[in-house]
Amino acid sequence: MIDVRPFNSLGGANHGWLNAKHHFSFANYYDPSRMSWGRLRVWNDDEIAAKSGFPPHPHADMEIITYVRTGAITHEDSLGNKGRTGAGDVQVMSAGTGVRHSEFNLEDELTTIFQIWIEADVRGAKPAWGAKAFPKSDRTGQFSVLASGDAADHALTINADARVLGATLNAGESLTYSLAAGRHAYLVPAVGAVEVNGVALNARDGAAIKDEAEITITATADAELVMVDSL
C-alpha cells in the first residue's frame, strides 16, 4: 500500500516568519485520517525567515529530528546544549522527562527544514541532544541511516524503534529498500521527483507505505530523499 499525500493537500499555516506545511494533524490543522503513521507522529515542512525562529518552549517523551534542507538552524536548550546545523545535516533532541529549547534561523537567508517527531518507546527517559554532519556524497545511490534506535547503525541516537534515512539519486538511478512485516515507511523527496514501486511522487509530497516487502525508488529527476521506517 502506497498512499500519496501531495504537497498541495497538506495542512498548514503561514505566520509570516514561519510558513509551515503539516503532513499530519498538528496545531490548528486536524485530519482524522492523518493522525500518525506507525510511531511517526509529526512531519512538518517549515520555511523559517531570516533572523527569526521558535522561542523557548517545552517538550516531553518525543524524539524530535530536524533535517536541514537549506540554510541553517541554531539550537539552544535548558540542558546547556547549543549548536548550529547546516544544510544536509541532522540534529536530534530526545525530550524524555522534559526539556525547553529554542530553534532560530540566525542566517541572512531563508532556512528550510523537515521537523520529524517520533513517539518515544519509553516514557521518562533522560533528555539529550546531538547533531551530526551527513555529507550527501556518502548517500549517493543508497540510503544512509541518519538517526536510529539501534546502536549498530552508528547514527544519531533516538529512543524509538525507528530509523531516519537519507539518500540522493541522480535521474534514472534506483535503489531498493526492504521493509519488514508490520513496519511503516514514510518517504518525502526534499527535491526532485521519483517513482515508488511505480507510483509517482514529486518534491515535498509524502508517501505513506506499508505491506510492501520491497520499496524500489527510481528518480525521474535528481532527487534528495528522507524516509522514516518505524513500527
How are the residues of the chain apportioned to helix, strand and coil, as percentages rounded to the nearest 5? 5, 60, 35
- Cell numbers found for residue 151: 546502536
Q: For the chain, report the end-to-end CA distance as a whole number of angstroms.
A: 15
pTM over 0.95: yes
Q: Output the tens digit of pLDDT for each of the chain's 231 residues.
A: 999 999 999 999 999 999 999 999 999 999 999 999 999 999 999 999 999 999 999 999 999 999 999 999 999 999 999 999 999 999 999 999 999 999 999 999 999 999 999 999 999 999 999 999 999 889 999 999 999 999 999 999 999 999 999 999 999 999 999 999 999 999 999 999 999 999 999 999 999 999 999 999 999 999 999 999 999
